[in-house]
Chain A
Amino acid sequence: MEFRFNDEQAQLRDVVARFCRDKAPSSAVRRVMATDTGHDHDAWRQMGAELGLIALHVPEDMGGLGFGAVELGIVMEELGRSLLPVPYLSSVLATSALAEIEDAAVREPLMAALVSGSKLATLVLDSTNGHPVSGELVAQDDRLTGSVRAVLDGHRADLLLVVVRAPHAPTLFAVDAASSGLTKRPLQVMDRTRRFAGFRFEQVPAARLGTLDDAQVERIYDTALVALANEMAGGAQALLEATVAYTRTRVQFGRTIGSFQAIKHRLADLLVDVELAKVAGYQAAAALAAGEDVSANASLAKFVTADAYMGAAREAIQLHGGIGFTWEHDTHLWYRRAKSSEVFLGTPAWHRERMIREMTA
Chain B
Amino acid sequence: MTAPAPAQDALAREVRQWLARNWDPNLSLAEWRERLADAGWGQPTWPTEYYGRGLNAEQALVVQAEFARIGAVGPATAGPRGLAAATLLEHGSDAQKKRYLRGITTGRDAWCQLFSEPGSGSDLAGATTRADWDGARWIVNGQKVWNTSAHHADYGILVARTDWNLPKHQGLSYFLIRMKQPGVEVRPLKQMNGHASFNEVFFTDAVVEADDLVGKPGQGWQVALTTLSHERAGFTSIRGAEKLRHGDQRIYREYAREIEIANEPYTWYPQRAGRIDMLLDRARESGAIEDPVARQEIAGAIALQRCLGWFGARGLAKGPAGSIAKLAASRVARAGNRAHTIVSGIDALFEGPDSPRDGIVGEILLSTPATSIAGGTDEVQKNIIAERILELPREPRFDDGPFKDVPRN
Binding site for B on A (CB under 8 A): 1-3, 244, 247-248, 255-256, 258-261, 263-265, 267-269, 271-272, 275-277, 279-280, 282-283, 286, 297, 300, 303-304, 349, 352-353, 355-356, 359-360
Q: Which B residues touch A359, using CB under 8 A?
A: 280, 302
User: Which of B101-109, B213-221, B292-300 forms contacts with chain A?
Assistant: B292-300
In the complex, which residue of chain B has the Cβ closest to the Cβ of A280? B307
Chain A interface main SS type? helix
Q: Which B residues touch A277, using CB under 8 A?
A: 307
B395 touches A261 (CB 8 A): yes
Chain B interface main SS type? helix
B299 touches A275 (CB 8 A): no
Other 13 A-B pairs with CB < 8 A, given A247-B392, A300-B303: A1-B57, A261-B383, A264-B392, A268-B386, A276-B311, A279-B307, A282-B310, A283-B310, A286-B1, A300-B302, A303-B303, A352-B296, A353-B295
A304→B301 CA distance, assembly (Å): 11
B327 touches A268 (CB 8 A): yes
- Interface status of B313 (Cβ within 8 A of chain A): yes
Q: Which B residues touch A267, using CB under 8 A?
A: 386, 390, 392
- Interface status of B389 (Cβ within 8 A of chain A): yes
A244 touches B392 (CB 8 A): yes
- Interface status of B382 (Cβ within 8 A of chain A): yes
B390 touches A271 (CB 8 A): yes
- Interface status of B243 (Cβ within 8 A of chain A): no
In the complex, which residue of chain A has the Cβ closest to the Cβ of B311? A279
- Interface status of B316 (Cβ within 8 A of chain A): yes
One digit per residue, 1 when the CB lies within 8 angstroms of any chain A CB and 0 when it does not, for chain B 283-325 equals 0000001001001101110111011101101111010010110
A146→B400 CA distance, assembly (Å): 73
A244→B385 CA distance, assembly (Å): 12
Say which residue of B292, B302, B385 sits within 8 Å of A271 (CB atoms).
B385
A272 touches B395 (CB 8 A): no
A276 touches B304 (CB 8 A): yes
For this complex, 10 residue pairs linking A to B, each with C-beta atoms less than 8 Å apart, are A1-B1, A2-B58, A3-B315, A259-B393, A259-B396, A279-B311, A280-B306, A303-B299, A303-B303, A353-B296
A304 touches B307 (CB 8 A): yes
A2 touches B328 (CB 8 A): no
Known contacts A248-B392, A272-B324, A272-B331; is A356 also within 8 Å of B307 by CB? no
Binding site for A on B (CB under 8 A): 1, 57-58, 61, 280, 289, 292, 295-296, 298-300, 302-304, 306-308, 310-311, 313-316, 318, 321, 323-324, 327-328, 331, 379, 381-383, 385-387, 389-396
Say which residue of A259, A268, A275 sits within 8 Å of B316 (CB atoms).
A275
Nearest CB on B from A117, distance (A): 33
Q: Which A residues touch B379, using CB under 8 A?
A: 265
A272→B330 CA distance, assembly (Å): 11
Nearest CB on B from A112, distance (A): 33
A326→B292 CA distance, assembly (Å): 38
Q: Which B residues touch A282, using CB under 8 A?
A: 310, 314
Say which residue of B292, B307, B313, B382 sits within 8 Å of A264 (CB atoms).
B382
In the complex, which residue of chain B has the Cβ closest to the Cβ of A277? B307
Q: Which B residues touch A1, using CB under 8 A?
A: 1, 57-58, 61, 313-315
A352 touches B300 (CB 8 A): yes
A268→B396 CA distance, assembly (Å): 18
A258→B391 CA distance, assembly (Å): 9
Nearest CB on A from B277, distance (A): 12
Q: Which A residues touch B292, using CB under 8 A?
A: 353
In the complex, which residue of chain A has the Cβ closest to the Cβ of B304? A276
Known contacts A261-B383, A355-B299; is A280 also within 8 Å of B390 by CB? no
Nearest CB on B from A72, distance (A): 17
Q: Which B residues touch A258, using CB under 8 A?
A: 392-393
A272 touches B327 (CB 8 A): yes
B382 touches A269 (CB 8 A): yes
Say which residue of B296, B298, B315, B385 sits within 8 Å of A2 (CB atoms).
B315
Complex A-B, nearest 7 residue pairs according to Cβ-Cβ distance, in ascending order: A2-B315, A264-B386, A3-B314, A352-B299, A268-B382, A259-B393, A268-B385
